[in-house]
Amino acid sequence: MRFMDETILAYIAGFLDGDGSIFFQIVPRKDYKQKFQIRSSIAFYQKTKYVEILDWLKEKFGCGYIRHRKTGVSDYTIVESKEVRKILELLKPYVRLKKRQVDLGLEILDKLEDKKTNQDFIEICKLVDMFGEMNYSKKRTITNETVSKFLSP
């Protein structure tokens, strides 16, 4: 990740507040101990016509990928949790609309590093459910209850 001064960070935070999203999802993973993974991601959206701003962001952060959708919208997405953490920490002082999401996202990432038991994982899944409520997520099918039923003896 390249050095960015406060002006650039504030600009990117404003972009995230307006045309960006932060996601935390519970996804099935057969190869994981608890059979589920907490996936974190940050996405920035823009008309494909103006994709150069997404190219600039990708160059600044040095990670993630850009997709061009048939709808005429492109997105720049970062999914690696270490990279998501770095970006959230960089933008935290500057975000306004998504401040609660940034704070909760960092809490989830902290707890993921410390999880030791199935109960720890279930508690993190509860935080992911809270995150989904902040984002008004309607498509979520896997919740903390799903994980809890699966992991409970």
Confidence of residue 11 (pLDDT cuts 50, 70, 90): very high
**Average pLDDT of the residues of the chain:** 90
Determine which one of 18, 55, 103, 110 is catalytic: 18
Each residue's pLDDT tens digit, 66-100: 999 999 999 999 999 999 999 999 999 999 999 99
At position 45, the amino acid (one-letter code) is: Y
Cα–Cα–Cα angle for 74, 78, 83, nearest 5°? 155
What is the rounded distance in angstroms from the CA atom of residue 73 to the CA atom of residue 43?
A: 12
User: What pLDDT, on the 0 to 100 scale, is given for residue 147?
Assistant: 79
Tens of pLDDT, residues 101-130: 999 999 999 999 887 888 888 899 999 998
Q: How many CB atoms lie within 10 A of CB 20?
A: 22
Q: Is 18 a catalytic residue?
A: yes
Q: Which fold has domain 6-151?
A: Endonuclease I-creI (3.10.28)
Tell me which of 14, 17, 19, 120 is the catalytic residue.
19
- State the pLDDT at residue 128: 92
Domain boundaries, the chain: 6-151
Closest CA to 28 of 130, 151, 110: 151
How crowded is residue 126: how many other Cβ atoms within 10 Å of its Cβ? 14
* pLDDT score of 133: 81
| pLDDT for 127 | 93
**Residue 75 catalytic?**
no
**Nearest-10 crossing angle of helices 99-114, 118-134:** 170
**Predicted confidence band of residue 137 (pLDDT cuts 50, 70, 90):** low
Structure tokens at 18: 């307006």
Percent of the chain with pLDDT over 90: 65
pTM above 0.75, yes or no: yes
Contact assessment for residue 16 and residue 98, using Cβ atoms and an 8 Å cutoff: yes
